[in-house]
Amino acid sequence: MPDYLDDLRLAHVLADAADAATTDRFKALDLKVETKPDMTPVSEADKAAEELIRGHLGRARPRDAILGEEYGVEGTGPRRWVIDPIDGTKNYVRGVPVWATLISLMEAGEGGFQPVVGVVSAPALGRRWWAAKGHGAFSGRSLTKASRLQVSQVSKLSDASFAYSSLSGWEEQGRLDGFLDLTREVWRTRAYGDFWPYMMVAEGAIDMCAEPELSLWDMAATAIVVTEAGGTFTGLDARPGPHSGNAAASNGLLHDELLGYLNQRY
């Protein structure tokens, strides 16, 4: 089995470059923000970070394909880098420090492309998380200064901490009743949002999280970090991996109950 460690090292180099670009424009008074056709914001920093990553990959991995949130798909083949230059753009443009660059390498296999490398870098929080298939998940300042991640062992909903982004998406999908029933059963709920709750599941700080509508670039990197930390990452339809247009992540022990509540009246 390939060890993917060279690809992981490259992903860290890409994240370093993106961090420098995004941090430089964070809270800039002259930051330019546009509205995309789907009515979500995109800043000049989103575009610059993705262009930077694409440029690095074009030189270092010219045969690999790239899928990015801002510029779509480029290239074909069995290996595809999936990029979200700033996950949490709404936070970024308002000066909220909860945003990250997500970088994943996906490889063709059974059931389609699957993530084999993931880096989640949140420079305004001073945090970075990463994983490579078969090598575990880690968090730290660098590859050599890191601690291994492990999901929690909480097995009862009444002891569990559940995180989400907002209520509106659950309501729009007709899943709000089940979602609210779940929040009444658990010990604690918090709306951290975006990449962060998945990383907290991976490090055992919370026990489960879910979002009703996501894109592949929102999930590819977070999915492998969660699974390499011993957790479970699926769509709301229970399909493993980042392919369902939505996500549920847990320590594994609570996953069936998590999906049961979110699907109970759907």
pLDDT at res. 26: 82
pLDDT for residue 38:
62
Taking alpha carbons only, the member of 168, 253, 251 closest to residue 212 is 168
Q: How many CB atoms lie under 10 A from the CB of residue 65?
A: 18
Per-residue pLDDT averaged across 42-55, rounded? 86
CB atoms within 10 A of CB 59: 8
β pairing state of 127-132 and 112-122: antiparallel
In the chain, % of residues over pLDDT 90: 76
Tell whether the model's pLDDT for residue 266 goes beyond 60.
no
Report whether pLDDT(144) > 90: no
Q: CA angle at residue 67 from 64 to 68, to 5 degrees?
A: 130
The predicted-structure confidence for 118-136, as pLDDT tens digits, reads as follows: 999 999 999 999 999 999 9
Query: What confidence score (pLDDT) does residue 89 get?
Result: 86
* Residue-by-residue DSSP string for the chain: ----HHHHHHHHHHHHHHHHHHHHHTT-TT--EEE-TTS-EEEHHHHHHHHHHHHHHHHH-TTSEEEETTTEEE--SSEEEEEEEEETHHHHHHT-S--EEEEEEEEEETTEEEEEEEEEEETTTTEEEEEETTS-EEEEEETTEEEE--------GGG-EEE-S-SHHHHHTT-HHHHHHHHHHSSEEE---TTHHHHHHHTTSSSEEEES---HHHHHHHHHHHHHTT-EEE-TT--BSS-SSSEEEE-STTHHHHHHHHHTT-
Q: Does the pLDDT at position 227 exceed 90?
A: yes
Judged against a pLDDT cut of 80, whether residue 88 lies above it is answered with yes
With tokens 């109970």, the residue in question is: 264
The three-point CA angle 55-58-59 to 5° equals 95
**Cβ neighbour number for residue 27 with a 10 Å cutoff:** 12
* pLDDT above 70 (res 142): yes
Say what the pTM is: 0.94
